[in-house]
Amino acid sequence: MNFRKAFIAALITFIFVNLLFLGSRPVLTADETRYGSIAAQMVESGNWMSLRMSGFHFYEKPPLVYWMMALAIEIFGHNAFAIRLPAALCGGLAALAMGIAARRGAIIAGTSRNDSNTLGALVSIASITMLLPAVGATSAILDAPIAGFVIATGAALFVAATHQPGKNRMGWLVIAGIMMGFAFMTKGLLALVFPAMMIAPWLLWERRWRDLFVLPWIPLFVGALVVLPWAIAVTQTEPGFWYRFIIHEHFQRFAGTGTNQQRESWALYLLVVPLGCIPWIVAAPISVRWWPSLARTQSGIRFAICAVIGPLLFLSSSRGKLPTYSLPIFPPIAWLIVSGLLAGFKSQITGTRSRGAFIPAAVLIMLGAGSMSLAIAGDWSAELLGRVWLESPQIHAVILGAALVLWGIGDWVSQRCAPGPHRVMCMGLSPVAILASLGLLFPDAIVNDLTNSGPTLMSQRDIIRSASTLMCDQRLAHACAWFLPRSDFLIVASPREFVNGLSIPQDDARIIASADFAVVLADARSRGSVVIAAETSAVDGLMATTGISAPTQRTDFRGWALVQFSPSTR
């Protein structure tokens, strides 16, 4: 297969899955509004060094991704596309880096340059078109950027280690150090842990004891140079940063103590990773049987195995877990799956192509046709579709149906291809339409107004903006700061990350304890109107507080409530 064709396919896949409809899904509460509001306040204040979360000191993460978001806001405006762009680009970086590593692994295994280049492009396609990486790369969170940078670090270390000492090795070690520095500027010490968990087991497997102690020094030195200017500046401007960042965000989060994160079972990722590999997980039974033989003969495959198992063990041992923490695992899985498929196709093993292989395509086409039939069925289907989408449900059903049909046709075409790289490329391209349209198909009727708070907050913006005093719980505070924007609120009910534990007077003064709520409310009403925006259960608890009068008005939405108090008369 021609490499140029595979490279173009990889580029198209990246554009469609990661970029095309990046801003179509609404900004969600609380993660996206939190990170977006931090970047937006950076742009508004002009202070790009001291991070502020709606005026509160923010010491949880370094600033690199917020700088990227702020720069995107400066260029593209205050919108969803801008704050998601860093994640989208870093999702592409992870796929590109692992593709380069796969290419290098194939070259040192004796594969021709054209076939090696093609393998790299196919690995990139598979990495982009896995479900969880596709979702992570279109969300304004830090997990996709850190995954991109640590994968790029590990891949560069692998490529460097496969070159003889000289300019090529030195160049790749410098690249590894730059990526490591960027990773530290994103999420701290994970910049060291993830690459180490990838490269160290591989070097041990290769019995390269000397490289285990020699290889890391140049990347560490270069990474330190990348971080040093910011580290000096933040130490001078924010002396409380390092304690909060290192102790709370690293050791306490790993141990599951002193954090707001829910503790999960060690086995969480054994479920998350297979589901996140959809649709490529269906190819795993064909691919996995070739991994042992490939691992015996190819150093690159041994590295890919280590790049999966090492981070997986580390993540499973941590008490704090989220599905998106596993994003660094998927690019090396893509490498393994693609390599196993190509080995199987090359050997024409039993089951590589069978009549049953066309069943998934037929099912997808039938589901797509059914969705489009619902869209044109008339009034009797409107109620059903309206339970999923609030606006234009028929149009959403048509988009879903068309995407499923295109997926089915693509899968059918791939099964018609001769076994080999061309078939793998078609397999990767077939789900592009459905993955690209995930943002367009966001089920806003299913998700409550607390998570998708933008429309309901904007419908009440005049009331909220005109209030003399605004009180919010943690989630609605982020939403108000992003959507309105208004950030001069007091925090009630659930302060969570607004409590930095450092007893900063200007921050602590804005956090209202439940025991003080009645007094603070009375004082605020003496100076003007008061509005409370909080989760429904939090509002119910506040309204049950002894000593407060009935509100002027209360409006309940799905998941949160808006309460108004008129000024008190003396």
pLDDT in tens, 254-300: 665 555 556 677 789 999 999 999 999 999 998 999 999 999 999 99
Rounded CA separation 328/189 (Å): 15
Quick one: average pLDDT of 87-114?
97
pLDDT in tens, 512-561: 998 999 999 999 999 999 999 999 999 999 999 888 888 999 999 999 99
| Residues 211, 314 within the same domain | yes
Three-state secondary-structure class, residue 275: helix
Q: Is residue 226 part of a domain?
A: yes
When the pLDDT of each residue in the chain is averaged and rounded to a whole number, the result is 92
Quick check: 303 and 291 in contact, CB under 8 A? no
Quick check: 408 and 361 in contact, CB under 8 A? yes
Confidence of residue 445 (pLDDT cuts 50, 70, 90): very high
| Residues 114, 261 within the same domain | yes
Q: Is the peptide bond before 30 cis (omega within 30 degrees of 0)?
A: yes
Rounded CA separation 41/72 (Å): 13
| Residues 410, 544 within the same domain | no
Q: Which residues are paired to 534 by β-bridges? A: 561
Quick check: 483 and 457 in contact, CB under 8 A? yes
Three-state secondary-structure class, residue 206: coil
pLDDT in tens, 325-379: 999 999 999 999 999 999 999 886 544 455 667 888 999 999 999 999 998 887 7
Residue 350: predicted pLDDT: 45
Rounded CA separation 393/397 (Å): 6
Domain extent at residue 236 = 3-23+79-345
What's the order of all strands across the beta sheet hosting 560-565? Answer: 490-491, 469-472, 530-535, 560-565, 553-556
| Residues 187, 104 within the same domain | yes
Rounded CA separation 143/186 (Å): 9
* Sign of the dihedral defined by the CA atoms of residues 56, 61, 67, 73, in that order: negative
Residue 256: predicted pLDDT: 58
| Residues 301, 400 within the same domain | no
Rounded CA separation 529/568 (Å): 8
Q: What is the pTM of this model?
A: 0.94
What tokens does 358 get? 């066309």
Quick check: 283 and 341 in contact, CB under 8 A? yes
| Residues 285, 403 within the same domain | no
Q: What is the DSSP letter of 554?
A: E
Residues 6+ apart with CB under 8 A from 89: 18, 68, 148
Quick check: 335 and 304 in contact, CB under 8 A? yes
CA angle 219, 220, 226 (to 5 degrees): 90
Domain count, the chain: 3
Task: Give the end of a domain, one of 345, 371, 399.
Answer: 345
Rounded CA separation 407/415 (Å): 12
CA 418 from chain center: how many Å? 35
- Largest interatomic CA distance in the chain: 88
pLDDT in tens, 189-199: 999 999 999 99
| Residues 138, 209 within the same domain | yes
**501 vs 404, more confident:** 404
Residue 530: predicted pLDDT: 97
Task: Give the end of a domain, one of 345, 365, 399.
Answer: 345
| Residues 377, 497 within the same domain | no
Task: Give the end of a domain, one of 292, 323, 345.
Answer: 345
